[in-house]
Chains A and B, each alone.
Chain A
Amino acid sequence: MDPKKQQLPPKENALFKRILKCYEQKQYKNGLKFAKQILTNFPEHGETLAMKGLILNCLGRKEDAYNFVRQGLRNNLKSHVCWHVFGLLQRSDKKYDEAIKCYRNALKWDKDNLQILRDLSLLQIQMRDLEGYKETRYKLFELRPTQRASWIGYAMSFHLLKDYDTALKILEEFRKTIQKTTYDYEYSELLLYQNLVIRESANLQEALKHLNTYEANICDKVTLQELRGELFIKLGRKEEASEVYRGLIKRNPENRNYYLSLEEALGLSTVEERLKIYEELKEKFPRAQVPKRLPLNYARGEALEKLLDPYLRTSLQKGVPPLFTDIRALYNDSEKVHIIEKLMSRYLRNLEETGHLCETDNEYKEPASILYVLMFLAQHHSYLGDSEKALQLIDRALNHTPTLIELYIVKGKILKHAGDFVGAYEALQEAQTLDTADRYVNSKAASYLLKANLVRQAEEMCSKFTREGVSAMENLNEMQCMWFQTECAEAYYRLGQYGDSLRKCHEVDRHFQEIIEDQFDFHTYCMRKMTLRSYVDLLRLEDILRSNRFYWDAARIAVTIYLRLHDKPLSVSTGENHINTANLDPAELKKLRSKQRKAAKRAEQNKVEEKKKEDKKSKGSGNSDDLENTPSEDLVPGKLERTEDPLGEAIHFLKPLQMLASNRIQTHLMAFEIYLRKNKPLLMLQALKRALKLEPSNPELHTCLVRFLKYRNEQLSQSGPIVDVITQEVTRLLPTTDPTSLNEDFLNRRQDSLPHRLQAARSMVLLDSVQRERGLTIATAVDSHLNNRSHQNVQLVLEWLESSEFNASPEEVSHFKNQCHKIFPRARAFFPPQPPASTTNESSELSPSQSTSTANHNHVDSPSS
């Protein structure tokens, strides 16, 4: 190429400058016009071609954009503009690593270009390339030593690399240059950031000194005191610490942490000491809740009763609906439960007899007290597992005040605990109709509909609050409404609609990706606004973002489904499959088929709609100026459930959990399941070792161990380094390496626990199918003396019987179901095939919900939580 061709004459050069300006000001049409003018005379001009591509990218014409930018770059490889533009393009496609390379190339040709250096530094911090970030910030600092952001960015790069001394030196030099005005919040934030770095450098003395020196300049007085308290405690200066915390409590007597820190500062150890302090604080702050509530955690026996009595009575007089939620934390202590029940029963008796909560009280009768006592006791008994008693009590409350919406919610919850998902959602729908403007109740109702697998109704319910003109599902996705999406994924999973379920899981995963990408905006904003403490917090949060519960839920479901799809891939042609149709009776089968047909039809419709929207989008995006326009590569359920590499997908979801949720045993059990199928014995061993460390007596872990031993005996050769390692480890970890005797031993030890018996039975059958009968007997024994005999655990047994692993006959299933139905009469899972009419009488003009028959959701293993 001819370098001369790349030089523009002055007139065209001026035009080119105008293109740049147009791009910055988002006047894309004009930009293209000028580009055309240049290109008619100089069709080879690389930088103009690149700019044209960049502008086209902003107009949504991705493909053209790449063509022009590439062509431009080819014509002028020595132009920093072309490389920079290519980097911007890659960045807009979220190919950050590629973008970094482009920026680096651009800097080769123009090493002091500020704009490129800034863009590069943003990418480096985004990708956590901290060493690279430090270098770039140094360069920027050198070039622009008068700018505030240069100093701060440079200092922060050392802070993030844990080089506290250098960071502090830079910060201190910078601080000296600042002209102090009387009230300067940004200066105050800088000081607090500086203090954060000092504290992280573990120089607590210095941190305290720093606070004292700049006390007058720190505007955030609460933080100042909180930091002081924290430092005093850490330095062992308890007396001063207690003074600080007393001051903070005076400022805000409802902050629980202040009280806990005060306890620490005062060095309280015995219950009596603690109670005494709270007596004192209660007197000092008679209107505060916290000093009344906290001592309930410590007190026991008579002392507790003395404290609880007034606490409960005040709440019951006032009418505090979440009283049970408030008190529930005490239920881990059976003695406390007993006292609560005793007091509450006494109140109920008193109210029934005299209308007063307490025998000695005879001034004022609060008519709603009995209502709240009944509501509390209903929740109490439901919590303790006595659903029938709970229902009687809540119905009494409903009789008393049928307009109190909370009562319907409690009733729904009781029914849910009892396993009656239909009755539960009916109660919530009733609540919802009473106040259709209440979004909380609306969401709760939707959530309960999902628990009953009524996805469409749940979506309809939500649609009352979502944006008009878009489908609710779509709007909920747009709003990153993850509780809905994870529960929806679970419902689809139970329905056997794996593709739909996976779609929801992927949507949730994308939200997390998006949140990480949204970080980008803060890299510049926070530096400019000096909100440095929050910025560092943000960076640290983003690093562990996927430890969030919603990611956990989505990943767990996705992994479970992918494992299943690996074991039993769906046929390519039909949508029907996964569900074990062999043992459904014809009527159910028909129902199922028609449901599947409908689902397929709906999916088809969705696709058409999506297509339409896509078209509209590409048409309408002419004026969308969003650089970060993501290509909406769509999640198509049919494709998701027919992935080529289900285990690879499962690993994609698992990886973050191994990093961020390694304290949950399920993470490692899932890892084991995946690696067993991938034939990776060392990784299996690693997963099992981690699991054993967390919870050696976990029932599911046992079956994994048995399967591992079986795998070792059957699949691995007799010797070799891997086998030796495994043998060595297994001998160390387990009492025996013979799976059968491991299982027998386990069964002997855990005879009394239902989930353990189930796993022992599973292992037994897996090891030797001749043991089928014995396994069945062990798993289906559901005597009342067994531990952990909840309907959820019993349902796991049922699911196992119906799974292909055991393949129970219809007689065996219905026999077991009948047995369970007697024990858990309300649990839908054990209803005989013909679902009886709803058990709640007061429902409802809503269509009866045959579609929630549990007939098909039992055919899949529930993803255990």
Chain B
Amino acid sequence: MRKARIELGDVTPHNIKQLKLLNQVVFPVSYNDKFYKDVLEAGELAKLAYYNDMVVGGVCCRVDVLDGQRRLYIMTLGCLAPYRRLGIGTKMLEHVLNFVEKEGNFNSIFLHVQVNNDGALDFYKKFGFEVVETKQHYYKRIEPADAHVLQKTLVKS
């Protein structure tokens, strides 16, 4: 059986609506216009994932500086339900990991995951992320409202 093609592509003003649509379907939270405006400036930190030329996933990150520490924050990383467990999430996360490695000046990568999202927890743990904190009432409009903070500390070379 032939393998499907999985590729990443840039987010541009032309296709940003696909990212919006995707996030609307995949995540229970909705993001405002500012979010998408920033995404357009994010360069390699925002990518669409294509499965046989269809947009099925997207990842958006931003750089977060706290107490002089540069950290990469994954804002969204998601894939349409029918296309999960095909390596699309892995492709996107690997892209992020490669990016921070190449840049070399990040202390860590972190993200929030709803506490009941076992699939996501397992996924990130596979790549060396750990739960470092659990925030109560992190989400405002969804249940459960608590979120784990997952973090991967990067060894500085």
Contact = CB atoms under 8 A, between A and B. Distances in A.
A364 B1 contact: yes
B116 to A, nearest CB: 23
Contacts of B13: 436
A41 B56 CA distance: 83
Contact of B86 (A317, A367, A400, A437): A367
B21 A403 contact: yes
Interface string A415-458: 00000000000000000011111000000000000000000000
Given A402-B25, A403-B80, A368 B54 contact: yes
Interface in B71-110: 80, 82-83, 86
Nearest to B58: A403
Interface in A280-333: 317-319
A435 B15 contact: yes
B82 A434 contact: no
A401 interface: yes
Contacts of A433: 17
Given A367-B82, A367-B83, A434-B21, A401 B14 contact: no
A127 to B, nearest CB: 49
Interface residues of B, number: 21
A404 interface: yes
Nearest to B13: A436
Contacts of A437: 12, 14-15
Contacts of A468: none
A403 B86 contact: no
A437 B13 CA distance: 9
Contacts of B1: 317, 363-364
B134 interface: no
**DSSP majority for the A interface?**
loop
Nearest to B15: A435
Interface in A511-536: none
B17 A401 contact: no
A98 B111 CA distance: 82
A403 to B, nearest CB: 4
A403 B82 contact: no
A645 B13 CA distance: 52
B30 interface: no
Contact of B54 (A318, A366, A404): A404
B51 interface: yes
Contacts of A319: 52, 54
Interface string B1-29: 11010000000111101100110010000
A403 B55 contact: yes
Given A319-B52, A368-B52, A403 B22 contact: yes
Contacts of B4: 366
A433 B17 CA distance: 7
A319 B86 CA distance: 16
A434 B17 contact: yes
25 contacts: A317-B1, A318-B2, A319-B54, A363-B1, A364-B1, A367-B51, A367-B83, A367-B86, A401-B80, A402-B21, A402-B25, A402-B80, A403-B18, A403-B54, A403-B55, A403-B56, A404-B54, A433-B17, A434-B17, A434-B18, A434-B21, A435-B14, A436-B14, A436-B15, A436-B17
Given A367-B83, A402-B22, 15 more contacts: A318-B52, A319-B52, A366-B4, A368-B54, A370-B82, A402-B21, A403-B18, A403-B54, A403-B80, A404-B54, A434-B15, A435-B15, A435-B18, A436-B13, A436-B15
Interface of B: 1-2, 4, 12-15, 17-18, 21-22, 25, 51-52, 54-56, 80, 82-83, 86
Interface of A: 317-319, 363-364, 366-368, 370-371, 400-404, 433-437
